[in-house]
Structure formats: C-alpha cells, structure tokens
Amino acid sequence: MIKIFGGDPQKKENIKKIKEIKKLIKKKDYNIALKASTQYLNSVPDNPDVLFIVGSIYYMKNRHKAALPYFERALQIGRYDPEVLLLKGRCHKFLGDTKKANDCWQDILEVDPRNDEARRELNL
C-alpha cells in the first residue's frame, strides 16, 4: 500500500527532536541538550545521530572519557562516519592513547585519503 499523505510519524518526531537538540547546542545550552539527548536515547537507544550528538556534547565539555562510549556505539550501529572517528580519535589523544587515536584517523584515510583533518592529526 502506498502512503499518499504523511509517512512515518515517528520518523518525523525523531527529526523534530534532533533539530531541537541541535538548536540547544548552537545556543551552547549543553546541559539542557545533554539531558534532552539522553532522554531521547531512552526511547530510541540505537540512533547513531543522537549517540554522536551526546558524544559531541561530552567532547565540548572536555569530558573525553564520557564521550568515547557514545562514539563507539554510534560506529557499531551501522555506519562508518569520519566525523565520529575524528572526535573519537581526539578523545583518545586527549586521554594519552595516541595509538588508538592514530587508528581512528587511519580508518578515516582508508575511505577518504584526502581528509584534511585526519591528515593534519597524523602530521601528513
């Protein structure tokens, strides 16, 4: 059956919620954005975009160790994402694990050999 009007109402609600969270981040309301994001993850735990957002908020708050599980989970769920790998690598670097950091940046270069940020992190 073809849907003429609308579509998946849950998908629309998810998009709306993510936009609201991004607005909070843009206004630097990190604590409110973090609370909204983690609440959202309670109902939709496998959304890689929101996992990335939560990891990014922790990253921006210099809570690198807290950010890593969210980046790792986002990468496990199903897609290879250079942005996630870049921030994950920077968290590892900040925590003093240069091998893991370099591995993240090398993974980026495997699919995007011209990625400037990964190349810069690797001093290439």
pLDDT digit string, tens, across residues 37-63: 999 999 889 889 999 999 999 999 999
Give a yes or no: residue 56 inside a domain.
yes
pLDDT reading at 34 higher than 90: yes
Instruction: Output the pTM of the full model.
Output: 0.85
Q: Is residue 71 part of a domain?
A: yes
For the chain, the average pLDDT equals: 90
Q: Is residue 16 part of a domain?
A: yes
pLDDT of residue 86: 96
CATH code, 113: 1.25.40.10
Q: Which residues form the domain of 34?
A: 11-121
Please check whether residue 80 lies inside any domain of the structure: yes
Residue with tokens 């981040």: 25
Residue 113: inside a domain, yes or no?
Answer: yes
The secondary structure element, H or E, covering residue 91 is helix 82-94
What is the model's pLDDT at position 11?
A: 75
